[in-house]
Amino acid sequence: ALLYRVDGWGAPYFTVNSNGNVSVRPYGVNTLPHQEIDLLKVVKKASDPKSSGGLGLQLPLVVRFPDVLKNRLECLQSSFDFAIQSQGYEAHYQGVYPVKCNQDKFVVEDIVKFGSGFRFGLEAGSKPELLLAMSCLCNGSPEALLVCNGFKDVEYISLALVARKLHLNTVIVLEQEEELDIVIDVSKKLGVRPVIGIRAKLRTKHSGHFGSTSGEKGKFGLTTTQILRVVNKLQQHEMLDCLQLLHFHIGSQIPSTALLADGVGEAAQIYCELMRLGACMRVIDIGGGLGIDYDGSKSQNSDVSVAYSLQEYACAVVEAVRLACDRKGVKHPVICSESGRAIVSHHSILVFEAVSASSHDSPQISSPGLQYFVERLTDDALADYRNLSAAAIRGEYDTCLLHAEQLKQRCVEQFKEGSLAMEQLAAVDALCELVSKAIGASEPIHTYHVNISIFTSIPDFWAIGQLFPIIPIHRLDERPAVRGILSDLTCDSDGKIDKFIGGESSLPLHELGGSNGSLNGDGESYYLGMFLGGAYEEALGGVHNLFGGPSVVRVSQSDGPHSFAVTRAVPGQSCGDVLRVMQHEPELMFETLKHRVEEFANEDGTSSTTALANGLACSFNNMPYLAAAASCALTANN
């Protein structure tokens, strides 16, 4: 656990149990020891074949914990409640969840259900997101906010106004000045009084990767001049009372409470000014930005960490709003936040398997091999070889490495010219490895091939270098014997993970069960988990190489024998599903191939056409990932 810094990034939800497995604490600090869930047991339950009591799902697997989601929501709410109470703040906090962070039906429904006791609402950034937010909030608190952000056209605005008509507490936040004309026009046509918000472009700028959203040149929001024009226009249309919310978002992963307080303080001044200008302001919406400590370092100088707790975040927000409003004698507004990352990151874990490992340190060289190699060297190469041997005898390690490198280069040249055989080239590689190993110049780094697509499941690693904690989920009571990088299934050199939390370029890993690094030598799989990836990764991922989404299970704490119950299990996308995403038509493709089977398969009389056609049908239904055991393999005679 120490080696993988689990206590740093994992607390209070993830720990390591006495079996050396990752243990999930579904209620955070309130979890009792007997309520902890052994993640390996969940993976076995999900992936074991049905015949042995499992659910027969194929990996990779997303394991969702709704209890963790509930705990995150409750912790966020209670942090604000405490800050409000302790500072004598005279309004309440009511958050919204930005559905873009994870639009999964069950995630959104859970948030609405768990948050209905404290008026928790939703934020949408597009028309389909608005549709899903509208339908989910029909089961939420009537006071829950439905915040409409993003670029808007007539259709989007009409839909948001219809939502108001349906008594959903909808606020249309102007991100572009032009949206106001549409709101005025459509609301008059529909006979609906809109509630309007303004997204302000703050001067406060967050300097990290996620800060490009903020500052005067940021992509979103209205400048001071534009805000004043909006106020004037609303006044002209006798609609200034409709302006009730001020929104801003200075970027995700806000690194420190100092920066947060700076931004919130600036926004609170704008809020007070809007009150002075006659708007009926009620809510200050501080956007997202509540960060996650992905590497457990509690540092404010990194995109993957933050230097504050939930409580410190809430206190800083409440204080900044309170100070600004008290100074101007303005009634305290309702505080809304749009935290996405902080709500959903912890609730899901991506589990995948290492299927094989290769290392670069295995070449062997025998004495007869060396003699054969030396005898065939040209004079130049022989001189390099002799210099190398002499330096080794004198113990001059740097010189040794230099000569080894020269010898290798010369031999590669000779191979390209055709004067060196492949066996000799292999021998020179082995000799150079031997030299660098003998003098301790390099620790061999192994490549573990893992059964995922990084483009589908960890797209932010590829796109923006975002790091997530990735660790084996078992054998954590065993010292890892090697270090390795992870290489995925795609035919793409970017499909590898060679950067890990803590600035490491390799990960401590255990040796795989079988001989020569292959898996399943003793039937034991090696499972790894990617943690804190519940926000953004699922919706951002693509279908590069036509690898589709993983299987998913929902797991709740239960007082049964295993302390968990799988409440939902969904297999990942099949080959047919991903083909359909790219406009192929699996049914027609199957028909075409079936005709070919009927035409040719029986030519030599060895194949059953029915068996072949059935096998092909199975291929469309199987997942694109490597299967531990073929559910229905395509063979000629089955």
> Could you list the residues that contact ligand PLP (CB under 6 A)?
98, 101, 149, 249, 252, 287-290, 338-342, 535
Of 253, 321, 333, 234, which is closest to residue 292 (Cα–Cα)? 253
Which position has the token pair 């005279």?
A: 90
Residue number, 13 or 352, with CB nearest to ligand PLP: 13
CB of 542 to ligand PLP, least distance (A): 19
CB of 327 to ligand PLP, least distance (A): 27
Which position has the token pair 């501080």?
A: 286
**Alpha helices, DSSP H only, in 191-338?**
224-236, 257-276, 310-328
Residue number, 26 or 98, with CB nearest to ligand PLP: 98
530 SS3 class: strand
CB of 177 to ligand PLP, least distance (A): 17
Residue number, 467 or 486, with CB nearest to ligand PLP: 467
Rounded CA gap, 142 and 167, in Å? 8
55 SS3 class: coil
Q: Provide the 8-state DSSP code for 597.
A: I
Residue number, 95 or 517, with CB nearest to ligand PLP: 95
Q: Provide the 8-state DSSP code for 535.
A: S
CB of 80 to ligand PLP, least distance (A): 14
CB of 344 to ligand PLP, least distance (A): 8
Which residues, at least 6 apart from 300, have a Cβ–Cβ distance to it below 8 Å?
Answer: 255, 256, 306, 307
- DSSP string of 389-406? HHHHHHT-HHHHHHHHHH
Rounded CA gap, 566 and 558, in Å? 9
Dihedral angle over CA of 304, 307, 313, 317, nearest 10: -100
Cα 458 off chain centre by: 5
Residue number, 201 or 341, with CB nearest to ligand PLP: 341
CB of 250 to ligand PLP, least distance (A): 10
Cβ neighbours, 10 Å, residue 570 = 14
Residue number, 208 or 288, with CB nearest to ligand PLP: 288
CB of 99 to ligand PLP, least distance (A): 10
Helices then strands, each counted (H, E), the chain: 21, 21
- Between CA 303 and CA 310, with CA 306 as vertex, the angle to 5 degrees is 140
Q: Order of strands across the sheet with 22-24?
A: 14-16, 22-24, 37-38
Residue 239, amino acid: M
Structure tokens at 568: 């939902």
Rounded CA gap, 185 and 565, in Å? 52
164 SS3 class: helix
Rounded CA gap, 76 and 346, in Å? 13
CB of 279 to ligand PLP, least distance (A): 21
CB of 340 to ligand PLP, least distance (A): 3
Q: Which secondary structure element, helix H or strand E, spans residue 115, and what is its range?
A: helix 105-115
Residue number, 411 or 535, with CB nearest to ligand PLP: 535
Residue number, 218 or 550, with CB nearest to ligand PLP: 218
599 SS3 class: helix
Rounded CA gap, 177 and 175, in Å? 7
Number of residue whose CB is nearest ligand PLP: 288
Residue number, 252 or 456, with CB nearest to ligand PLP: 252
Task: Please return the burial class of 572, using the count of CB atoms within 10 Å of its CB with bins 0-12, 13-18 and 19+.
Answer: buried
Rounded CA gap, 52 and 49, in Å? 6
Q: Are 534 and 14 a contacting pair, CB within 8 Å?
A: no
Residue number, 176 or 520, with CB nearest to ligand PLP: 176
Residue number, 78 or 359, with CB nearest to ligand PLP: 78
CB of 604 to ligand PLP, least distance (A): 60
Which position has the token pair 């991506």?
A: 350
CB of 195 to ligand PLP, least distance (A): 17
Cβ neighbours, 10 Å, residue 142 = 10
Cβ neighbours, 10 Å, residue 567 = 13
Active site residues: 491
**Alpha helices, DSSP H only, in 237-378?**
257-276, 310-328, 341-344, 367-375
